[in-house]
Chain A
Amino acid sequence: MEDKQITLQIDHHFVTVQEGTTILEAAQQIGIDIPTLCHIDLKGTCIKNTPASCRICVVEVEGRRNLAPACATKCTEGMVVRTSTLRVMNARKIVAELILSDHPNECLTCPKAGNCDLQNLALRFNIREMPFNGGELSPRKREVTASIVRNMDKCIFCRRCETVCNEVQTVGALGAIRRGFNTTIAPAFDKMMTESECTYCGQCVAVCPVGALTERDHTNRLVEDLADPDKVVIVQTAPAVRAAIGEEFGMQPGTLVTGKMVAALRELGFDYVFDTDFAADLTIMEEGAEMLNRLTRYLDGDRSVRLPILTSCCPAWVNFFEHQFPDLLDIPSTARSPQQMFGSIAKNWWAEKMGIPRERLVVVSIMPCLAKKYECDREEFKTDGNPDVDYSISTRELARLIKRANISFTLLPDMDFDQPLGTSTGAGVIFGATGGVMEAALRTVYELYTGKTLKSVNFQNVRGMSGVRRATVDLDGFELKVGIAHGLGNARHLLEDIRHGRNEYHAIEIMACPGGCIGGGGQPLHHGNSAVLYARANALYREDAGKTLRKSHENPFIKTLYQEYLGKPLSEKAEHLLHTHYFNRSM
């Protein structure tokens, strides 16, 4: 079918677009920025919310009596649109004022201040007073979970979180309940999120335009720990953080700031600055060994082997299958996530080497993720109540802390991670992008399985942004079929297939967030611009390409760790320290 072209006029400019384009999109093409609030369309991912409910984007269309929402009105041939007439500006302002009339006037102490779409609109529309005050605010629920803070007083009912939770992630934890001023967004039966199927993926937080959904903040706790002379405070940083945190300091999306990030963490006063990428390499050793083990048994004719093997690095994904696919608990790899492997190795091997008692050692992680906060709080990752990872700080929180500590991030010199837990290969770095874990595993599994050296370590066919990708890799005659899914809705399709015996894969990588960790719920807000996610992913692949070592099994300190302490992958000690088990948490 040939695409029909349509020409219309917006604010006296002619623009030609494809049939089906909305006025909002057409205006964007010619640099006219119509304000929106409920609308979000993260192009190239499945995140899209277009209820046309807030009416902030209304425009005048010649020949129409009423104002039309630009986000939901399709362009027609010869259409004449005005986006900034007096009538339009007044209507927009009144809509914003009505939304503000049931919104707490707490911008000074709101965690979203400075990053709030509603606050930005109030500024942009020149709202200097509240004409519709007088009524009481509708009281709604507040909740603090391990990962997410819910303050429904601030909710403006854009329904972005509901769409993401139900349509994109298919978790189904959040929905609109009741009506009128009593409406709120909540789990079924108005229960707490902790009593729901919530996976803490944090995508609701990533799209919330206001301060209704935010992260659980641990920065104050961290400031106190750093000031405590009796404590040794060490930090691990996830791969996706270095590709995004620069944005918080005005740098272009996709600017790699690994060295500055390390320098900032030293400035903050961490005793040792380590890298989760080290643990990512370790994950590949364990998960790769598990994969090889299952594959060789399968190829030897053992049909009791459970295939495909699924990755288990993503804690929201783990929560998802524990809630929704309890019949498949034996399929995912038992390998802990890199965050937890790091904590376990730091509080055992490293602490023993350094002679630091467990209770004096504080392990902090910097993560692009909110589910990581929940993960490190899980009972199975504690020894006598002391967690392997004490707490997790999101990329956004770290940026706030750096500003609070008067550090001029952009002026910092580049510094290197400490040893031994700071050395990583390129394979560890790409964990942060969808497909990266699979690519890292392939690099190691190929070489261990075939005994040959890879000609090129780049597996281009597992990279990219489409929701589900499949690839076949030739392991010396054996066709290894791998799948990659990001976004829990995409993962669900694959899992339903497995549940119904329609599986075509040997191994599948799953990440809960669109784009993988680079699009995590703890990252700097993308404000609906998916170019940001592409830039971050490319940054990680650039960092990988620039590394001398790009295969996990070549990491010299990983070799030392196995020689000195663990023996070999899947040894008794490795099983004890680096593997976990899953629980049936169906509701």
Chain B
Amino acid sequence: MPDIKLPCDVADKVTEICARHGNDPGELINILHEAQHLLGYLPEEMQRIIARNLNIPVSKVYGVVTFYAFFTMTAKGKYPISVCMGTACYVRGSERLLEEFKRVLGIDVGQTTPDGKFSLDCLRCVGACGLAPVVMIGDKVYGRLQPIDVKRILDELE
């Protein structure tokens, strides 16, 4: 993981988020939630700033970030793709769907395409099991997808 230097305004915003939560270590998860919104992920430098403001070891911050699947240290793509692997979607073929996304994009789960356009993740149930198998791209829900639809959808997002 290269140590990316944050732009000043992002660093200031992180400090602001911490301050809004009273720099309270008990608020760490809420702070991380908001901080992740800034860039879509939590780079090392951001975690160090949070640790400093909350006066806790950075190892603790990193421990929380790696414990919860929601937090990520990889920059998400412009279009973050999440394939649902919940029970309903799984039995209706979401695994084949995921394989197709991997094949077309040439990346693995948790990775981002080199051009920064797409990132691929799995999730567990979005509550739209009637549409299984379901894929979310950004905030948009795609239902009843077949592997054959994958290429078309991605092309539309070009």
Contact = CB atoms under 8 A, between A and B. Distances in A.
Interface in B35-58: 44, 47-48, 56-58
Given A166-B57, A189-B44, A176 B63 contact: yes
Given A179-B67, A188-B47, A189-B44, A172 B60 contact: yes
A172 B62 CA distance: 12
Contact of B57 (A177, A186, A188): A188
B62 A188 contact: yes
B59 interface: yes
B8 interface: no
A175 B57 CA distance: 9
A178 B66 CA distance: 5
Contacts of A166: 57, 59-60
Nearest to B58: A188
B1 A175 contact: no
A587 B59 CA distance: 12
A174 interface: yes
Nearest to B47: A188
User: Which range holds the interface residue count of chain B?
Assistant: 10 to 19
A176 B61 CA distance: 10
A188 B63 CA distance: 7
B66 A177 contact: yes
A280 interface: no
A179 B62 CA distance: 12
Interface string B105-136: 00000000000000000000000000000000
A209 B63 CA distance: 22
B67 A188 contact: no
A178 B73 CA distance: 13
Interface string A176-188: 1111000000111
Contacts of B1: 189
B126 to A, nearest CB: 22
B69 to A, nearest CB: 9
Interface string A186-222: 1111100000110000000000000000000000000
B59 A179 contact: no
A173 interface: yes
A186 B57 CA distance: 12
A338 to B, nearest CB: 31
Interface string A144-179: 000000000000000000000010000111111111
A175 B62 contact: yes
Closest 8 interchain pairs by CB?
Answer: A172-B57, A175-B59, A188-B59, A188-B62, A188-B58, A175-B63, A178-B66, A177-B66
Given A166-B59, A175-B63, A189-B44, 17 more contacts: A166-B60, A172-B56, A172-B59, A174-B59, A175-B62, A177-B59, A177-B67, A178-B66, A178-B67, A179-B66, A179-B67, A187-B59, A188-B59, A189-B1, A189-B47, A189-B58, A197-B57
Interface of B: 1, 44, 47-48, 56-63, 66-67
